Amino acid sequence: MAYKIKNTNWQKEKKNNAVIFRNIKNPSLTYEIHKFDKEEAKELMANYYSFPAIDGKGIPNSPDLSPNKKEAIKLAKEYMEEN
């Protein structure tokens, strides 16, 4: 899946089963997308969770839950275009 981001201050990284977007100007700032395992996904009725982070720690009021990867990417793009 291609990730087209208007704000070019972010670069995509892969780490284990996560997709991580790192801010080039402030490398401590990331936006991370992770997939729940099957049991968690069934319990939470969401397949993905995503959140902005500073130094690997989630920012309060996160994570966001998404039913699919497309929705998680949409949330990431919205965040990255604002930051």
Residue 61's pLDDT is 78
For the residues of 14-56, what is the DSSP string, one character each?
A: EETTEEEEEESSSTTEEEEEEEPPHHHHHHHT-SEEEEEEETT
pLDDT band at 28 (very low <50, low <70, confident <90, very high): very high
Contact 78, 71 (CB under 8 A): no
pTM score = 0.84
Q: What is the mean pLDDT of residues 70-79?
A: 93
Each domain of the chain, given as residue ranges in start order, spans 10-82
Q: 10-15 and 18-23: which strand pairing?
A: antiparallel
Instruction: Tell me the pLDDT of the chain averaged across its residues.
Output: 88
